[in-house]
Amino acid sequence: MEKHRWLSLCLLGGWALPFLLQAENYTFDEALLLGSDYGQGLARFNSEASVAPGQYLVDIWLNGRFIAREGVMFRGEGEDVTPCLPLVFYEQNGVLALNTPGSESCLSPAKRVTGASYVFDNALLRLDIAIPQAEMVQVPHDYVAPEQWQAGESLLFTNYNSNFYYSDAGGSQSEYGWLGLTAGINFGLWQLRQQSSASYSRYGDKKRYQWDNLQTWLQRPVAALQSTLSAGQSYSGGNLFSSMAFTGVKLETDQRMWPQSRQGYAPEIRGTAASAARVVVSQNGRTLYQTNVAQGPFVINDLASTAWQGDLQVDVIEADGSRSQFTVPFSALPLSLRPGVWRYNAVIGRARDYDTDDNWFGDFTLERGIANSLTANGGVRLGKEYASTVLGGVWASELGAIGADVTASSAQLPDGKQTGWRSQLSWSRSFNATGTNVALAGYRYSTAGYRDFSDVLGERNAAKYSDVWRSDTLSQRNQFTATVNQQLGDYGSIWLSGSVSDYYGERGRNTQLQFGYANQWRQISYNLAASRQQTFWRDTTRRADGQPAQNARHGQTENIVTLTFSVPLKFGEREDYLSLSTSHSKSSGTSYQASLAGSITEDDSASYAVSAGYQNSSGEAAQKNWSASLQKMTSFGTLNGSYSQAENYKQWSGGMRGAAVVHRGGVTLGPWLGDTFALVEAKGAEGARVSNGQGAAINAQGFALVPSLTPYRFNNVQLDTRNMAADIELEDNQQRVAPYAGAAVKLSFSTIKGTAALIDVTTRRGSLPAGAEVFDEHNQIVGMVGQANQVYARLPTTKGQLTVRWGEGPDERCAFQYQLTDDQPQRAMIALTAQCSDA
């Protein structure tokens, strides 16, 4: 009823608005209405933070950080009404010096902590508590305490992704259908997941059906270790060793549990302030961080990770306006960690995809941020007659970030024992003066005897069936990769990437080069891209006697050039995009394509794309083609369809993607669900849409799905009520939640059903006190008295009685009857008149 109360107060104060705009302070003075009951009780609204004693459900903020939404007791202290929170609240939120006089379990902030204060916003039901920083444990500004993480509901869900494809090429017809399922069951923190797929194909008269169980596993977040435990079919980490599909148990660090400002890599910044100062951290002219520090040494260790490279500029602006500056070198590689941060991965299980009996293995890796400039890592992988170890690290310096590691392996193979080693070197650097960014350059060298565990299992499996094992990593000798980005200011930007690999045993060489240029002229964006791929190999086919049949050197080269333009087009309030592109390659010839894409609806729930093209392949007749596609996001999933046609084929396809959740309230359909999602319950609020919910809306049963939440972070979930029935009102249309990864949290929104009415009330006693509360026949508050005896209320039934109360005495209340006509409940708000008699 807080919303009703403040709406009535706005009505009450509307006549005074011109005066309020000119006054810094204003009060409700009951003496101005001497001799009348009209203003009785108004004085309690003279303070913005005024509140009657009692318990309120409020949002609690501590030093500008959201803590929780929970009930808080407000009780009188002299002439004031102050909030009091239990001792455990302060202890859980890092308050150091606590006053605990006597056995008081409920004290105001000022009595609990010296120097503490609070501000309560009655309209927003928000309680801001301020505690001196010196009395607080220092935690990152975006820290969410594990006590506030929510495990969510016990329920069952499944994601489904289905599509059907039909093609008629020169009279040859084919069909293909596919259904992918990702199902899950949540029991508290335990989460069971299963992935499977079904496929159908028809070529001519031949039909084929197939069902595949892809992956099943059980997982559980372990907050105490900042880790995730999983058992079943999974994949090992790929940081230091190659990733392996396995069936077994894995325990690994889950960095999502860390505050956002501790994830990724950023250096610690240390300095000294001569006075109370402001510290500004910038990079390449962009401000990344600002904070206020007290006089003396300071440290900034919660700087958010940045995708940009370049040294950090630190400005210390003193209280008198003087300024000092210093630079902190910054370059990072993917394995860089902040100082003091640990990350580990432990696996034991059987490797999948290999038909051998000796595929058990175990992994353990450990990484540690030693200092701003140094990260160390190492690990071991053990299997049957196989062992490998790795040791390395990352060094950040003025020359850039340099990563290096050495891996040694020993393996028993069908043709004997092989031992060897592999070394890797990587480098990343930004040159601010020239705008050049070497995103990653790496070189790897392997001796002939080095083996990844996956290649060992592959060779053993191949020998079992007298076959030959081939992979991109087997017998690789050298590999070099590089990516360079160059900013050209108003002339756009260019990028270049390439890789070269060669192998032992004359297996050949692979070379890839890619180049791109991008710029914009007015609102027209254009891109030029070129790529070249060369592959050389030797044919080592053997005769029946085991001798090579031939040893010829073969090669293949493919060059592709593409030019693309993108032009925004305005159609009323809608902006669509026209794209023009052309590409050329030796194998495919030259093609030209024009497409138009955009949204059909104002809420972007429906989109379209149409295109037409021309293909001129070498040695073949030119081909014209066109296509069209539609996509619609609905409350129960996403629908899509397409059609394309050329001179030698016709093709159409359709699909549907979404989710179904089985819970205590029934079955709810919605958009495709992410790893972490929410179930919203708002009884009677059918039609209310979930903001940023990919089309999700409250259904007739009062439920909807929020398809994706960020784990271990506060997420705002908001309902848009524009499509809701006029006789329903949400008491609160927004909630915040911080879920565990994989959780399905339930958010309940309370609703009030009834017809909104503005009632002109007359009484024998004259005026009703503004701010008096209005009750229905079940003693529920449904409205409040505003100015000029106008009552705002939401009427729960088509007829009944309402009681106005402004005190506890029998002479401090009156009651009146109301009755609605058949058409009135369909209106957003109705106007009524009533006679209020003594109750």
From residue 750, alpha-carbon distances to 677, 681, 684, 707, 772 in Å are 20, 9, 9, 21, 23
Instruction: Look up the CATH superfamily of 755-835.
Output: PapC, C-terminal domain (2.60.40.2070)
SS3 601: coil
Identify the burial level of 32 via C-beta atoms within 10 angstroms of its C-beta, where 0-12 means exposed, 13-18 middle and 19 or more buried. exposed
Q: What is the average pLDDT across 337-348?
A: 89
For 39-43, 343-347, 444-448, 647-651, which range has the lowest pLDDT when averaged over its residues?
39-43
Where do we find the tokens 């407000």? 74
Residues 6+ apart with CB under 8 A from 487: 435, 436, 437, 493
The token pair that represents 540 in the structure block: 């080592």
Where do we find the tokens 């939440």? 709
What's the 3-state SS for 374-397?
Answer: EEEEEEEEEECCEEEEEEEEEEEE
For CATH 2.60.40.2070, the residue range(s) in the chain are 755-835
Angle at Cα 661 formed by Cα 657 and Cα 662, nearest 5°?
145
The token pair that represents 131 in the structure block: 């505690």
Q: Does position 8 have pLDDT exceeding 70, yes or no?
A: no
Predicted local distance difference test score (pLDDT) of residue 616: 80
Quickly state the pLDDT bin for 372 (edges 50, 70, 90): confident
Q: What is the average pLDDT across 66-74?
A: 82
For 65-74, 293-302, 745-754, 800-809, which range has the lowest pLDDT when averaged over its residues?
293-302
Q: What is the average pLDDT across 359-364?
A: 93
Q: What is the average pLDDT across 299-315?
A: 66
Specify the higher pLDDT residue, 18 or 598: 598
Residues 252, 834: Cα–Cα separation, whole Å: 68
Claim: this prediction has a pTM higher than 0.75: no
Whole-angstrom distance between the N-terminal and C-terminal Cα of the chain?
23
Predicted local distance difference test score (pLDDT) of residue 46: 52
Quickly state the pLDDT bin for 97 (edges 50, 70, 90): low
Predicted local distance difference test score (pLDDT) of residue 300: 74
The token pair that represents 724 in the structure block: 């809701």
Q: What is the average pLDDT across 581-608?
A: 85
Q: What is the average pLDDT across 333-353?
A: 87
Burial letters 84-105, b for 16+ CB under 10 A, else e: bbebebbeebbbeeeeeeeeee
Quickly state the pLDDT bin for 728 (edges 50, 70, 90): confident
Q: What is the average pLDDT across 322-330?
A: 71
Residues 280, 599: Cα–Cα separation, whole Å: 41
Residues 63, 49: Cα–Cα separation, whole Å: 18
What's the 3-state SS for 745-758?
Answer: EEEECCEEECEEEE
The domain 268-328 is classified under which CATH number: 3.30.70.270, 3.50.50.60, 2.60.40.3110, 2.170.190.11? 2.60.40.3110
Residue 221, H or E segment: strand 206-222
755 in Cβ contact with 820 (< 8 Å)? yes
Question: pLDDT per residue over 520-537, tens digit each?
Answer: 998 899 998 888 888 776
CA 645, 646, 650, 656: dihedral to nearest 10 degrees? Answer: -40
Residues 6+ apart with CB under 8 A from 680: 690, 698, 703, 704, 705, 706, 717, 719, 746, 747, 748, 749
Residues 708, 695: Cα–Cα separation, whole Å: 12
Question: pLDDT per residue over 629-685, tens digit each?
Answer: 999 988 888 999 998 888 878 888 999 999 999 999 899 999 999 999 999 998 888
SS3 4: helix
Residues 539, 586: Cα–Cα separation, whole Å: 24
The token pair that represents 581 in the structure block: 């592109």
Q: Does position 555 have pLDDT exceeding 80, yes or no?
A: no
Q: Does position 400 have pLDDT exceeding 90, yes or no?
A: no
Question: pLDDT per residue over 466-520, tens digit each?
Answer: 888 877 788 888 888 888 888 888 888 998 888 888 888 766 788 888 888 999 9
What CATH fold (topology level) applies to the domain 30-135? Ubiquitin-like (UB roll) (3.10.20)
Q: What is the average pLDDT across 460-466?
A: 84
Phi then psi for residue 134, to 5 deg, are -65, -20
The token pair that represents 591 in the structure block: 């093609």
Predicted local distance difference test score (pLDDT) of residue 18: 37
Specify the higher pLDDT residue, 64 or 687: 687
Specify the higher pLDDT residue, 646 or 566: 566
For CATH 2.60.40.3110, the residue range(s) in the chain are 268-328
Which residue stretches of 93-228 are H helix? 109-112
Share of the chain above pLDDT 90, in %: 23
What's the 3-state SS for 418-454?
Answer: EEEEEEEEEEEEEECCCCEEEEEEEEEEECCCCCCHH
Query: How high is the mean pLDDT of the chain?
Result: 81
119 in Cβ contact with 93 (< 8 Å)? no
* Cα 741 from chain centre: 11
For CATH 3.10.20.410, the residue range(s) in the chain are 30-135
For 203-207, 386-390, 653-657, which range has the lowest pLDDT when averaged over its residues?
203-207
Neighbour count for residue 355 (Cβ, 10 Å): 10
Question: pLDDT per residue over 209-247, tens digit each?
Answer: 999 888 899 999 999 999 999 999 988 887 888 888 899
Quickly state the pLDDT bin for 32 (edges 50, 70, 90): low
564 closest CA partner among 576, 579, 577: 579
For 229-233, 299-303, 762-766, 776-780, which range has the lowest pLDDT when averaged over its residues?
299-303
Predicted local distance difference test score (pLDDT) of residue 288: 73
For 30-39, 175-184, 329-338, 660-669, which range has the lowest pLDDT when averaged over its residues?
30-39
DSSP lists the bridge partners of residue 716 as 736
Specify the higher pLDDT residue, 87 or 659: 659
